[in-house]
Amino acid sequence: MEKQTFFEKLIKRRIVSMILLFILLFVLFAILSNGLILNPMNIVNILNSMALTTFLTTGVAMLMISGDLDLSTGANGTLCGMFLAYALQHGMALVPALIITLVIGSLIGLLNGALTNGLKMPSFIATLATSSVATGLVYWIANKKMIDVTNPFLKSYGKDMLFTYIPLSALVAFVLMVIAGIALHKSSYGRKIYLVGGNKQAAMLSGINPKKISYSLFILCGFFSSVAGITFVSRMQSANMQGIIAARFQGITAAVLGGISFGGGSGGMAGAFVGLLVLNTFSNGMTVMGVSPYWQNAATGVLLILALTLDFFQSKQSMKVVA
């Protein structure tokens, strides 16, 4: 048997390499910022930023495991948040407004599933198209204005802390991610997702309907996007035209960093969570250091390239093992 190098072993244990990277980044920024990153309020900022990304990552990670991709998450969430603010501003009660908002997000997911499975469009093309449509609807509803959100329940959800330093919205996000992780690894539905992502033909021969799984995952991804949009307007107490549109790649980056392959069939929520830690610590550390947002975007792109490179080598190693 061919002896593996240390790098090859780390590649096969992506979650270990990402934990080491997270520790390295945290120590590095702690030194460079003279301990500012360790400030309790800064930790709260990291958790707050993780809440939004966690919702997006949870939805897109499950979809990626099945072999598909959703680039509309940010625009979908922004549209949902804008609709919620608009509905409340025009007198709609909170509960029906929330229900309709969640339905809108899920319907956009359903549309993505229909374009991908019904019209056989590549998922990244289909979701890029719906992203443009959703963005246009956001601009139309907003009419170049910001809409304030003053509902006390939403304010409590977006602003309240548990045990002084844990944002309520972050706790909700992490609980939903844990539930998704348990569903992936402990349920027949989760096993079907991995089978579809690993080999659709084999899944079909096993009696699984890949289209049904794909539709359900696109709808779930849309649902999580709408929750992210609700969380954003709850925290900001307003809805604006930019919203979380720019966050669409953050969920994908965190998922790939955590070991979820673009090819599907591998990875899980534990790895995605570590990817979230790496991504948000990196972003927060650069903010604490006073790095320009433009350079932060460039650096995040470098992180995505790193994640894709690791994904490439991991896939190559897997092919060697199969061969």
| Segments making up each domain of the chain, as ranges | 12-316
> Residue 316's pLDDT is what?
65
Task: Provide the mean pLDDT of the chain.
Answer: 88
pLDDT tens for residues 248-285? 788 888 888 888 888 888 888 998 999 898 888 888 88
> Residue 168's pLDDT is what?
93
Q: Where are the alpha helices (DSSP H) in 237-266?
A: 248-257
Which of 93, 52, 45, 94 is CA-nearest to residue 76? 52
> Residue 318's pLDDT is what?
58
| 12-316 under CATH 3.20.20, yes or no | no
The better pLDDT of the pair 175, 295 is held by 175
> Residue 106's pLDDT is what?
97
What is the rounded CA–CA span in Å between residue 270 and residue 62?
Answer: 12
What is the rounded CA–CA span in Å between residue 208 and residue 195?
Answer: 9
pLDDT tens for residues 122-136? 999 999 999 999 999
Question: Coil, helix or strand for 289?
Answer: coil
Flag whether pLDDT at 322 surpasses 50: no
- C-alpha distance from residue 220 to each of 22, 57, 89, 293 (Å): 29, 12, 27, 31
Flag whether pLDDT at 1 surpasses 50: no
Per-residue pLDDT band at 147 (split at 50, 70, 90): very high
> Residue 226's pLDDT is what?
97
